[in-house]
Amino acid sequence: MLLTITTTRPPATDLGYLLHKHPDKCQSFDLSFGYAHVFYPEATNRCCTAALLLDVDPIGMVRNRRGPKGDRGTLDQYVNDRPYVASSFLSVAIARVYGTALGGRCKDRPELINRSLPLEVRIAVLPCRGGETVLRSLFEPLGYEIESHRHTLDAKFSDWGESPYYTVALRATRPLKELLAHLYVLIPVLDNDKHYWVGDDEVEKLLRFGAGWLAGHPAREQITQRYLKHQPSLARQAIARMISEESPDIDILDEAFDRQEETVEETISLNEQRLGTVLSVLESSGAGRILDLGCGEGKLLRELVKDKRFTEIVGLDVSHRALERASHRLKLDRLPAVQRERIKLVHGSLMYRDRRLEGFDAATVVEVIEHLDPPRLASFERVLFEFARPGLVVVTTPNREYNVMWETLPAGSLRHQDHRFEWTRDEFQTWAAGIGDRFGYGVRFLPVGREDATVGSPTQMGVFSRVV
């Protein structure tokens, strides 16, 4: 795997200062997955090229048990494209070998750090999942001129067709540190390898190296999703941070994940059917004072305000950003005073007892429990069924059995990156029956969405009625 960076601005050998690598030397670095070598095929006043040659050692990686445990077939561990293509390993190598430049430091010539240089990057083999369109959609908005050449799968067998591998040249005039940050983030995004191994601090890295350009990038969602993809634990970490720091950046991730779930489910506009079923249960119960717990952007709240039978409506969520969006969606600042008094948005967590939640006729918990960590479900159960204790509780959650019906969802996947679990009908009903016994609620179950004879409906609903 070869990455070259060339500049033609004299004195071009300044590139050596910026990269902290002397043009006259060939240096090697031992990385946990192989070796990186840096050398300069050309270093003159007019043109200077630094080459980073990455020698990934798949055997060593298996021996060292690098990467996710147990989810690779044995052969795939040894025979794969990793040694030959630009992947997250190249990003790791950039950070290790060019870390000073990536971090925007230059001891000897600090004036070079922010200087725009004419730069050309060549990547010998770049896997572009989604083809040239994706390649362009990632780099063009950042001002790169792109030249790419796609390789056939095998020159001897042309009918095998094209491969996802490209030789790519990118040209732009900009500070080197920016170029390195773009490569660091976007190479693994293009590769989109579901097996790529990333450390626990990947969210931090994305936010750090995406600073200043990712938030405004038109493909922001796709970049974020692909970068953190297949690592639900990272999404979990991101959400945990959101809860503790309420960092707006993390909310961006959440939005992206929401969109992903919507894409999976949209074919049957499941969301509308879910809201319709919740509303009809509430209406027929005669409840007037309603809590919407984990209200998100306020889709249900918007329907509730339209109906005068609901005299007091409270939406609660742990995410400030979701509440802001709900407030916007509900046009709270423009509601007439009478309406305005009926609805309130409150910030809070379902993990903690909250007196503001007491004394309501009904509570809805729509597509929320699957976002809670299983060990913390017990806290939620007590907060809602023991302390808040509304007369009626409506809980909806995905039915995992139904996932096989969606072509866009890879086998075994959950519908949303932040889902900690998705239950079968049996699992949900056992959980709900346990709650009924412990807290004195009767429970009935309703399917939501088109029901399949074998796997049931996409969403499952439990309606709990307080017995005493």
Q: Which residues bind ligand SAH (CB under 6 A)?
A: 294-296, 299, 317-319, 322, 349-351, 366-368, 371-372
Instruction: Provide the minimum distance between the beta carbon of 366 and ligand SAH in the complex, in angstroms, as a whole number.
Output: 4
The SS3 of residue 350 is: coil
Q: Rounded distance, CA 11 to CA 243, Å? A: 50
Instruction: Provide the minimum distance between the beta carbon of 296 and ligand SAH in the complex, in angstroms, as a whole number.
Output: 3
Instruction: Provide the minimum distance between the beta carbon of 372 and ligand SAH in the complex, in angstroms, as a whole number.
Output: 6
Reported as half-sphere exposure (CB side, CA atoms, 13 A), residue 281 has a value of 31
Identity of the residue, 120 or 251, whose beta carbon is nearer to ligand SAH in the bound complex: 251
- Two tokens at 179? 């170029």
Instruction: Provide the minimum distance between the beta carbon of 410 and ligand SAH in the complex, in angstroms, as a whole number.
Output: 21
Identity of the residue, 134 or 372, whose beta carbon is nearer to ligand SAH in the bound complex: 372
Among the listed residues 249, 267, 224, 280, the one whose alpha carbon sits nearest the alpha carbon of residue 417: 224
Identity of the residue, 40 or 380, whose beta carbon is nearer to ligand SAH in the bound complex: 380
Identity of the residue, 166 or 257, whose beta carbon is nearer to ligand SAH in the bound complex: 257
Length of the chain, in residues: 468
Q: Rounded distance, CA 57 to CA 35, Å? A: 8
Instruction: Provide the minimum distance between the beta carbon of 318 and ligand SAH in the complex, in angstroms, as a whole number.
Output: 4
Identity of the residue, 229 or 416, whose beta carbon is nearer to ligand SAH in the bound complex: 416
Across 248-323, the runs of DSSP E, i.e. the strands, are 289-293, 312-317
Identity of the residue, 191 or 367, whose beta carbon is nearer to ligand SAH in the bound complex: 367
Contact between 464 and 436 under an 8 Å Cβ cutoff? The reply is yes
* CA pseudo-torsion sign 246, 248, 250, 255: positive
Phi first, then psi, for residue 18 (nearest 5°) are -65, -40
Instruction: Provide the minimum distance between the beta carbon of 259 and ligand SAH in the complex, in angstroms, as a whole number.
Output: 12
Instruction: Provide the minimum distance between the beta carbon of 305 and ligand SAH in the complex, in angstroms, as a whole number.
Output: 15
H or E element: which one contains 126? strand 117-127
Identity of the residue, 236 or 466, whose beta carbon is nearer to ligand SAH in the bound complex: 236
Residue in the structure block whose two tokens are 């630094």: 50
Contact between 239 and 250 under an 8 Å Cβ cutoff? The reply is yes
H or E element: which one contains 242? helix 232-245
Residue in the structure block whose two tokens are 């074919």: 267
